[in-house]
Structure 1
Amino acid sequence: MQIVPFRLEGKYFKKMITLYCRLFQVDPRGMEEQFKRHSTYPFFEGYLAIIDDRVAGYIYGYSSRKGQYYHDLLASHLHPERDWMKNCMELVELGVDPSYRGRGIGKQLVEQLLKNRKEKRVLLTTRKDNDTAIAFYHAGGFKVIREGFYPNVPHEYIIMGKRL
């Protein structure tokens, strides 16, 4: 397996979009635009796990700043825990192709993304009913900061964080 930097112009970008849409059953056009917009955010960083010229997994994040859509949603929900929003990054997306799960790809991607960050904290959200993701993040040192987060969707999410 190779871990390569996420590039919009790279040959793997469309393959990453295809994997994302397969995992989350969403429209590729909207996701491509979202990824392009996110890549312009401060200190954007992302990686792809490549096996046999296939995208086996992806991850990206960026510094969380006032005025960003998700930053402002998180900030409004974390008001009692304001310190989490100071000097933090958002781990925005992590996905691993189901046929490659259980090989440590997600763990390697998270480690690669977090190893040189300058922020003091990292935040992420995941669905409250996603026991596999929650256990994965707990094993990586993340803790649940808040429950009852509904980011403009009908499903309940939790906010998890880790000090870097």
Structure 2
Amino acid sequence: MVKVLELASNEVVQQVSELYKDVWNYEDNSIKERILKHSSYKGFRGFVILSKEDKVIGFSYGYTSLPGQFYHELLAKEFNSEEYHNWLQDCFEFVELAVHPSYRKQGLGKILISKLVEEVDNKTTILTTQIDNNSARSLYESLHWKVLKEPFYPSNSIQPYVIMGKELK
């Protein structure tokens, strides 16, 4: 049995940081700093899933996407005015999702995604993932997300991404 909790305490954020490093083989602590920064954003929501041993095995978070925010501005450049109005005008930005590799294929990603967007007041939600991340894309498509743009190169990335969206209302 797993528990779903809000992403709130510093202890949980530290565990999320460790999980992020395990999932992405990434040795910096910027995820902790980003979560702490983003937790002050309008509409911030975050959840973790704990194992039986109360260890964080998955997390997701996001917030209301607003003009002036770094990623909002990157995404806005990819859309014409109609697409911007339809997708970013009243949007919840799905920022991160990670599940420890040994706990995948058990529906935990679906739980985290559903919990994250279930009470969001925004009209749409949007996310990006690596264009070749087939397991993530399949997961999102199974939950009725659709591809809005590909390829998308955020910032100085040489790796192509895909922009996906879902209507919430």
Q: Same fold (TM over 0.5)?
A: yes
**Per-residue deviation, 1:30:** 2.0
Structure 2 unaligned regions, length at least 5: none
Q: In 2, Cα distance between the equivalents of 1:73 and 1:103?
A: 33
Partner of 1:22: 22
**Per-residue deviation, 1:23:** 1.3
Partner of 2:164: 160
Equivalent pairs counted in the alignment come to: 163
Percent identical among aligned pairs is 36
Task: Please give the secondary structure, in 2, of the residue aligned with 1:162.
Answer: strand
Contact 2:13 2:35 in 1 (8 A): no
Q: In 2, Cα distance between the equivalents of 1:16 and 1:100?
A: 15
Contact 1:59 1:93 in 2 (8 A): yes
RMSD between aligned residues: 1.1
Q: In 1, Cα distance between the equivalents of 2:16 and 2:164?
A: 24
TM norm structure 2? 0.93
Question: Counterpart amino acid of 1:19?
Answer: L
Mapped pair 1:78 → 2:79: yes
Contact 2:17 2:29 in 1 (8 A): no
Q: In 2, Cα distance between the equivalents of 1:163 and 1:142?
A: 8
Mapped pair 1:105 → 2:111: no
Structure 1 unaligned regions, length at least 5: none
Partner of 1:95: 98
Mapped pair 1:123 → 2:116: no
TM norm structure 1? 0.95
